[in-house]
Amino acid sequence: MSSAPPPGPGPHQPPPGPASADSVQPSRTEAGPDGVPYPFAEVQASGEFAELRHAHRSFAFPLTVAFIAWYLGYVLLSSYAGGFMALKVLGHINVALVLGLAQFLTTFLIAWWYSRHAAARIDPRAQVIKKRLEGDA
């Protein structure tokens, strides 16, 4: 007589073991076991944190979309506009090489620009929030 392994959890049952990730991370309104709200939940719901998120997103998202469009434009030109990309600009340097090197240049410029933006607008706000949150501990 062979012993079959016990059946696993059904399709709608969570597996046994540690709690799922959803139950570990509290929501904005959830309190700890002592009834005291989690301090990060209060910070996350604050206007300061909303301003911090806005300062980051208003810079990062448009720049990311612009860079992806610029990169995809380069790839599409390389794939479908071979004649244009082969045009000589100076000696043996063609449009494809110039645009390819411009990809590197824009990558470094965006990183430099973001570091300046973060130092001026994101880091000071984050430090204020961090100090207030750590001061409560």
Say what the pLDDT of residue 26 is.
47
Of 76, 75, 99, the C-alpha closest to 87 is 99
**Any idea which residue has 């709608």 for tokens?**
12
H/E run at residue 93: strand 93-94
Q: Where are the alpha helices (DSSP H) in 6-136?
A: 21-24, 39-45, 47-80, 82-85, 95-117, 123-135
The structure's pTM equals: 0.65
Provide the 10 A C-beta neighbour count for residue 52.
Answer: 20
CA–CA distances in Å: residue 1 to residues 6, 76, 126: 15, 65, 65
Per residue of the chain (137 residues), give pLDDT as tens.
Answer: 555 555 555 555 555 555 544 444 545 456 667 766 677 788 888 899 999 999 999 999 999 999 999 999 999 999 999 999 999 999 999 999 999 999 999 999 999 999 999 999 999 999 999 898 887 55
